[in-house]
Amino acid sequence: MKAAYQTTLRRRVSIGGVGVHSAAPAQLVLHPAEPDSGVAFLRTGLAGGSERHLKARRANVTHTALCTILGDASGASVSTVEHLLAALSGLQIDNVLIEIDGPETPIMDGSAADFVAAIDQVGCIQQSRPRRYLKIVKPVRVERDGGWAEFLPAERGFRLDVEIDFASPAIGRQSLALALDPGAFRREIARARTFGFVSDVKKLWQAGYALGSSLENSVAIDNDEILNPEGLRYADEFVRHKALDAVGDLSLAGAPIVGAYRTYRPGHKLNALALEALFADRSAYLYVEAAPARPSVRGVGAHVPAAAFAAAE
């Protein structure tokens, strides 16, 4: 499948579970979608049997305190969307309609692994329209609470460089840098689970959050020890999960990014602020379309690489 073309799912697939914050059950149905439709949620199960259509775009982000939440003026919302969006973005799925009957995307095992498995179950198909990319042409940087994030230009592809720094010896300072493509996404970050400190979770419980959190879907840290009997999936699983979150949050740009994203002590809020700063500076980016491979003019069998770009406004 050439990266020059948009993709969607071959057929619909269902997956269910409970939300990590609400503990509310929810059923997801991922549907194939038409070219240029992008990723969107169809929130069902609202009062009076109503439904709301929510595009997975930064303009619809309403909260980023503990997770990323999409919503609209009617009050309809879907929370904890980042892991599912990361799976779609990481596997380069452009057009999907996500039907969901509850307020929160299921946490599953705390990573994107179950969403990847669901996508693999049905497969994806190439569509007729070229893929549209968001190309970074000038550095953009934001800072917040001792952390920072920046977009940098790159000739091709998307590079992710993430560093975290925790006082707890169980985590410490960890960094991860990789060129992101579907293979790297699967190997390096898709299985990295969300994590938290037991002392913080107790406070969240009292505030009505993390009600669905357990050792089945989170890495728990107490007194600088990992409580999960099976241990970690990667020695540096913590920074890999932060990278996973960043992939999901940045997908809200609405198009795959050609460039680099570097961040220190990231979180959902910082990722959102970085996107906000990028789109606030119209000179920092442009849209390009991937040029499909075609025979050369001389007809000797040479082809234009699928990664070639053409300006698209």
Decide which of 6 and 210 is more confident. Answer: 6
The encoded tokens of residue 159 equal: 């590079």
Q: At what angle do helices 113-122 and 82-90 cross, to 10 degrees?
A: 50
Residue 241 counted as an annotated binding residue = yes
pLDDT per residue as tens digits for the range 65-123: 999 999 999 999 999 999 999 999 999 999 999 999 999 999 999 999 999 999 999 99
pLDDT of residue 311: 56
**List of residues 6+ apart from 202 with CB closer than 8 A:** none
Closest to 188 in 3D by CA, of 264, 111, 115, 257: 111
| Neighbour order of strands in the sheet with 69-71 | 61-63, 69-71, 77-78
Nearest 5°: the CA angle 62, 64, 68 is 80
Residue 64: what pLDDT? 96
Catalytic residue among 21, 63, 268, 303: 268
Average pLDDT over every residue of 272-282 = 98
- The string of pLDDT tens digits covering residues 163-194 is 999 999 999 999 999 999 999 999 999 999 99
Task: Name the pLDDT band for 207 (thresholds 50, 70, 90).
Answer: confident
Q: Is 249 annotated as a binding residue?
A: no
75/99 Cα distance (integer angstroms): 17
- What are the tens digits of pLDDT across the range 280-312? 999 999 999 986 555 433 333 333 333 454 555
Q: Is 245 annotated as a binding residue?
A: yes
pLDDT number for residue 310: 53
Q: Is 21 considered catalytic here?
A: no
Mean pLDDT computed over 51-63: 97
Does 16 score more than 70 pLDDT?
yes
Report CA Rg, the chain: 20
The whole-number pLDDT of residue 3 equals 66
Structure tokens at 248: 């999901």
Q: What is the pLDDT of residue 272?
A: 98
| Whether the predicted pLDDT of 49 surpasses 90 | no
Domains and CATH numbers, the chain: 5-290 (3.30.1700.10)
- Chain segment 228-266, per-residue pLDDT in tens: 999 999 999 999 999 999 999 999 999 999 999 999 999
What per-residue confidence (pLDDT) applies to 297? 38
CA 251/CA 176 separation, integer angstroms: 19
What mean pLDDT comes out for the span 264-289? 97
